Amino acid sequence: MKADTQTIDILLLGSGGREHALAAKLAASPRAGKLYIAPGNGGTASCGENVVLDDCDPAAVAAFAQSHGCGLVVIGPEAPLVAGVADAVRAAGIPCFGPGAEGAQMEGSKLFSKQLMERAGIPTAAYGSFTDEASALAYVREQGAPLVVKADGLAAGKGVIVATELEQAEEAVRECFGGTFGDAGNTVVIEEMLVGPECSLLAFTDGKTVRPMATSQDHKRALEGDLGPNTGGMGVYSPVPIVTDEEHATMVKVMEQTVAELAAEGIDYRGCLYGGFMLTPAGPKVLEFNARFGDPETQVVLPRLKNDLVEVMLACANCELDQIELDWRGEWAVAVVLTSAGYPGSYEKGKVITGIADAEAMENVTVYHAGTAVVDGQLVTNGGRVLAVTALGDTFENARNLAYEACEKIDFEGKTLRHDIGLRALRGRDAWDA
What distance in Å separates the CA atoms of residue 216 and residue 231, rounded to the nearest whole number? 17
Identify the CATH number of the domain in which residue 52 sits: 3.40.50.20
pLDDT attached to residue 1: 44
pLDDT attached to residue 234: 97
pLDDT attached to residue 188: 86
pLDDT attached to residue 230: 85
Nearest to 145 by CA among 173, 123, 122, 119: 173
Q: What is the mean pLDDT of residues 66-77?
A: 97
If phi > 0 it is left, if psi is from -120 to 50 it is alpha, else beta; for residue 315 that is alpha
Q: Flag whether pLDDT at 433 surpasses 80.
A: no
Q: How many domains would you assign to the chain?
A: 3
297 or 194, higher pLDDT: 297
Question: What is the pLDDT confidence band of residue 182, given thresholds at 50, 70 and 90?
Answer: confident
Rounded (10°) angle between helices 245-264 and 110-120: 100
Residue 264 lies in a domain: yes
Q: What percent of the chain has pLDDT over 70?
A: 97
* Boundary residue ending a domain (98, 122, 146): 98
DSSP annotation of 44 reads G
* Boundary residue ending a domain (98, 124, 153): 98
Residue 121 lies in a domain: no
Instruction: Say whether both 212 and 168 belong to one domain.
Output: no
Residue 18 lies in a domain: yes
Identify the CATH number of the domain in which residue 216 sits: 3.30.470.20
Instruction: Quote the longest CA-to-CA distance of the chain.
Output: 61
Instruction: Say whether both 204 and 166 belong to one domain.
Output: no
Nearest to 208 by CA among 254, 272, 269, 290: 269
Instruction: Say whether both 303 and 374 belong to one domain.
Output: yes
What distance in Å separates the CA atoms of residue 399 and residue 239, rounded to the nearest whole number? 12
Instruction: Say whether both 317 and 251 belong to one domain.
Output: yes
Nearest to 160 by CA among 276, 257, 19: 276
Residue 174 lies in a domain: yes
Instruction: Say whether both 147 and 19 belong to one domain.
Output: no
Question: What is the pLDDT confidence band of residue 158, given thresholds at 50, 70 and 90?
Answer: low
Mean pLDDT lowest for which of 153-167, 242-256, 304-318, 374-388?
A: 153-167
Instruction: Say whether both 333 and 359 belong to one domain.
Output: yes
Instruction: Say whether both 406 and 258 belong to one domain.
Output: yes
Q: What is the mean pLDDT of residues 33-49?
A: 96
Residue 123 lies in a domain: no
Contact 19, 76 (CB under 8 A): yes
Q: Flag whether pLDDT at 131 surpasses 90.
A: no
Q: Is 428 helix (H, G, I), strand (E, B) or coil?
A: coil
Mean pLDDT lowest for which of 111-125, 176-190, 216-230, 324-338?
A: 176-190
Q: Flag whether pLDDT at 157 surpasses 80.
A: no
Instruction: Say whether both 224 and 313 belong to one domain.
Output: yes
pLDDT attached to residue 80: 97
Q: Flag whether pLDDT at 431 surpasses 90.
A: no
pLDDT attached to residue 176: 85
Question: What is the pLDDT confidence band of residue 428, given thresholds at 50, 70 and 90?
Answer: confident
Instruction: Say whether both 216 and 177 belong to one domain.
Output: no
Mean pLDDT lowest for which of 140-149, 303-312, 315-324?
A: 140-149
pLDDT attached to residue 322: 97
Nearest to 273 by CA among 319, 339, 328, 204: 204
Q: What is the mean pLDDT of residues 202-218?
A: 97
What distance in Å separates the CA atoms of residue 85 and residue 82, rounded to the nearest whole number? 8
pLDDT attached to residue 2: 46
**Side chain identity at residue 56, one-letter code:** C
Residue 3 lies in a domain: no
Q: What is the mean pLDDT of residues 98-124?
A: 94
What are the helix (H) ranges across 352-395? 356-360
Q: Is 90 helix (H, G, I), strand (E, B) or coil?
A: helix
Question: What is the pLDDT confidence band of residue 87, given thresholds at 50, 70 and 90?
Answer: very high
Identify the CATH number of the domain in which residue 139 sits: 3.30.1490.20
pLDDT attached to residue 110: 85
Q: Flag whether pLDDT at 45 surpasses 80.
A: yes
Question: What is the pLDDT confidence band of residue 24, given thresholds at 50, 70 and 90?
Answer: very high
Domain coverage including residue 312: 198-425
Question: What is the pLDDT confidence band of residue 434, given thresholds at 50, 70 and 90?
Answer: low
Q: What is the mean pLDDT of residues 70-97?
A: 97
Residue 15 lies in a domain: yes
Instruction: Say whether both 176 and 31 belong to one domain.
Output: no
Instruction: Say whether both 38 and 170 belong to one domain.
Output: no
Question: What is the pLDDT confidence band of residue 155, given thresholds at 50, 70 and 90?
Answer: low
Instruction: Say whether both 82 and 141 belong to one domain.
Output: no
Question: What is the pLDDT confidence band of residue 312, given thresholds at 50, 70 and 90?
Answer: very high
Q: What is the mean pLDDT of residues 136-152?
A: 87
Question: What is the pLDDT confidence band of residue 241, given thresholds at 50, 70 and 90?
Answer: very high
Q: What is the mean pLDDT of residues 217-225?
A: 93
* 314-343 confidence digits (pLDDT tens): 999 999 999 999 999 999 999 999 999 999
Residue 5 lies in a domain: no
